[in-house]
Amino acid sequence: MTQAILETRGIVKDYGEFRALDGIDFSLPPGELRAIIGPNGAGKTTFFNVITHKFKATGGKVFFGGKDITNLPSHKIVKLGITRAFQIISLFPKLTVFENLMCALLTIKERNLCMFSSAKGYADIREEAFRILETVELGTQANVLCGTLAHGDKKKLDLAIGLACAPKLLLLDEPTAGMSPEETESTTKLIRRICEQEHITILFTEHDMSVVFAIADNITVLHQGKVVAQGKPEDVREDRGVVEAYLGEEF
Amino acid sequence: MLDRSVLWRNRNRLIPIGAVVVLLFALPAFIPEYELYLVNTILIMAIFAYGWSLLFSYAGYLSFGQSAFYALGGYTVAIMYRDVTGSVWLAFLAVLGISAVGAAVIGALSVRRGRIYFAFLTLSFAMMIYAVVFRWRGFTGGDDGIPSVMRGALDFGLFQANLEPTANYYYFTLVIALIAIAAMWKMVNSPFGYTLKTMRDNMERASFIGVDVFKYALIAFVISGVYCGLAGALMVSLCGMAYPELSYWTVSGDPVVACLIGGAYTFAGPFVGSIIYVLVRSYLMALVGNWPLCLGIILIAVVLFFRTGIMGFVSERFKVTL
């Protein structure tokens, strides 16, 4: 078996008295498209926040490609190859769509300290930015201030910024939240395509079960900060623990 | 991508800029000495304002303590001339170095805190410098300050340019100001400038595209400190005196007010704001006496009716980038 791209051992995260994550052992092989599901408050977003060191874990370790990244600051984790898109859209609102991507690309290519060259003058970055914009179908909006985009497009741009960081592992927190059915469908296909064509491992959370069962290779189910089930979509659907976790919810 | 519209836009920009530069170089020929002195003050204020705006308009850090570096630069030049050297080059080199070091120390202690704390920390450091300067009579002259600071002479090897005449010193300031502003223009449009803009727009997201936010905030702080130090040094040489109030918190307010009036989020804003602020301050102060009241009214008017400053208003109204 190949080495896991992402592995966590005994991740614990407390918010005061409340234990949001309760000893998560998790392993993700490279190339997989994995969904994390669970009821509200199960700890999905917190899990992402701990992996990317937005918050420090109370206990446990995170390994990326075998390397311990538990205590690395977020910006270093990004440079290693983990990026994320956010559940609550997180962009640079006073910059245009193109500039948003350009900044991510400049950073990944370590050009932040160039003070006297024109940021928009790099042909390689222009090309790459437009390639990604085409991928997420935002090519025609390149010069729009991103603060003025429609919700679905903002969500796509958030994903595009994640892609621009040249990740090996992409974390998507509810990538289709708030999208129209058409947008949801195109985004779902897009995620599948990114995983297969760009060879990026993807870990995503999602509320929309039709999306999850349509594209995920495997599913991990979180409930009250613990992994309660894991496996192929069809197995998870039958799992008793999962049904209990979602009891009262339509599943 | 040099299509026609880009060329046109650049030309649109270059013509007025060229006109302003030519006008500035020609000014000494046809305005009286006191007015030239005022324009000199405007140029210095502009350097000060650009220094502050690098932090505020581009990196998103509101500093209330840039007077710390204004005073540091001012006293450096005064003390260099008094105790060390008569060379303008060396004195100004020392200004750049000492403001940078001072900004690195204060910045390292300030940029890691939240933004509100940053504002108060910078304010406190400036007032600390004020207190030190005020008390350290033997070195800084205490509340007497350091009088009769010279303007000196620029040694070019083959010849010397005497800076004592107001017009000559004006050219000295003008060249420095133009270089400083041009460098700022390059900087805010460079990858570094855009890195700062990501921090201003969304600090958290910036670190999730891989930006080490504290590192770049500190670099911006040092550059800003150098600009402010340079402005202070030029001012002390211009008026021939270093005094503790250079570091007083109201002086920190000067670039803030200039940028608010001119428009902090346009590149021309700090310059236009400096012109208006300095002119209004000098003429109104002579005319009505109650300067703080006038300033208050102007600020209220700007905030109520031109929230993005004058250049911001013009830029929105006429859909141009300024």
Give the pLDDT means over successive 10-residue stretches in chain B (322 positions).
Answer: 53 85 94 94 97 96 95 96 92 97 96 89 95 93 90 87 92 97 96 96 94 96 98 96 93 94 93 94 82 83 86 84 74
Between chains, do A103 and B190 touch, taking CB under 8 Å as contact? no
Burial of A7 (0-12, 13-18, 19+ CB in 10 A): middle
CA within 13 Å, CB half, B171: 14
% pLDDT > 90, chain A? 63
CB-CB: which of B205, B207, B219 is closest to A91? B205
Between chains, do B198 and A75 touch, taking CB under 8 Å as contact? no
Domain map (residue ranges) of chain B:
32-247
A55: closest CA of chain B, how far (Å):
12
Count Cβ neighbours within 10 Å for each residue of A167-196 and write b for 16 or more, e otherwise: bbbbbbbbbbbebeeebbebbbebbbebbe
The ipTM assigned to this model is 0.90
pLDDT at A1 over 60: no
Write the DSSP string, chain A. Answer: -PPPSEEEEEEEEEETTEEEEEEEEEEE-TT-EEEEE-STTSSHHHHHHHHTTSS--SEEEEEETTEE-TT--HHHHHHHTEEEE-SS----TTSBHHHHHHHHHHHHTT-TT--SS-GGG-HHHHHHHHHHHHHTT-GGGTTSBGGGS-HHHHHHHHHHHHHHT--SEEEEESTTTT--HHHHHHHHHHHHHHHHHS--EEEEE-S-HHHHHHH-SEEEEEETTEEEEEE-HHHHHH-HHHHHHTTTS--
Interchain contact B124–A (C-beta under 8 A): no
A115: closest CA of chain B, how far (Å):
5
Interchain contact A240–B (C-beta under 8 A): no
CB-CB: which of A86, A107, A117 is closest to B195? A107
Q: State the pLDDT at residue B287.
A: 82
Nearest residue of chain B to residue A117 (CA atoms): B190
Interchain contact A84–B (C-beta under 8 A): yes
| Sheet arrangement for strand A33-37 | A82-85, A169-173, A201-205, A33-37, A218-223, A226-231
Interchain contact B321–A (C-beta under 8 A): no
Q: What is the pLDDT of residues A135-156, one digit of tens each?
A: 888 889 999 999 899 998 999 9
Interchain contact B3–A (C-beta under 8 A): no
Q: State the pLDDT at residue B1.
A: 43
A87, A88, A92, best to mutate vs chain B, most B CBs in 10 Å = A92
B194: closest CA of chain A, how far (Å):
6
Interchain contact B267–A (C-beta under 8 A): no
Interchain contact B2–A (C-beta under 8 A): no
Residue pointed to by tokens 């170089």: B25
Q: What is the pLDDT of residues A63-92, one digit of tens each?
A: 999 999 999 999 999 999 999 999 888 999
A107, A127, A146, best to mutate vs chain B, most B CBs in 10 Å = A107
Between chains, do B201 and A90 touch, taking CB under 8 Å as contact? no
Domain map (residue ranges) of chain A:
1-81+168-175+201-251, 88-166
Which residue, among A77, A34, A25, A35, has the nearest Cα to A53 in the 3D structure? A77
Nearest residue of chain B to residue A53 (CA atoms): B208
Interchain contact A78–B (C-beta under 8 A): yes
**How many beta-carbon pairs under 8 angstroms link A with B?**
103
Between chains, do A112 and B191 touch, taking CB under 8 Å as contact? yes
Q: What is the pLDDT of residues A185-243, one digit of tens each?
A: 989 999 999 899 889 999 999 888 888 988 999 999 998 899 988 889 888 888 777 77
Residues of A in contact with B196 (CB under 8 A): none
How far apart CA A23 and CA A225 sit, in angstroms, is: 8
Q: State the pLDDT at residue B258.
A: 94
Interchain contact A67–B (C-beta under 8 A): no
Interchain contact A95–B (C-beta under 8 A): yes
Which secondary-structure segment (H or E) carries B155?
strand B153-155
Between chains, do B192 and A114 touch, taking CB under 8 Å as contact? yes
pTM, full prediction: 0.91
Q: State the pLDDT at residue B115.
A: 83
Average pLDDT, integer, range A108-120: 91
Candidates 3.40.718.10, 1.20.1440.130, 3.90.190.20, 3.40.50.300; CATH matching A1-81+168-175+201-251: 3.40.50.300
SS3 B189: coil
Residues of A in contact with B189 (CB under 8 A): 118-120
Residues within 8 A of B (CB atoms), A 107-136 only = 107-108, 111-120
Residues of A in contact with B211 (CB under 8 A): 75, 107, 112
Q: State the pLDDT at residue B284.
A: 83
Interchain contact A89–B (C-beta under 8 A): no
Between chains, do B209 and A114 touch, taking CB under 8 Å as contact? no
Between chains, do B194 and A103 touch, taking CB under 8 Å as contact? yes
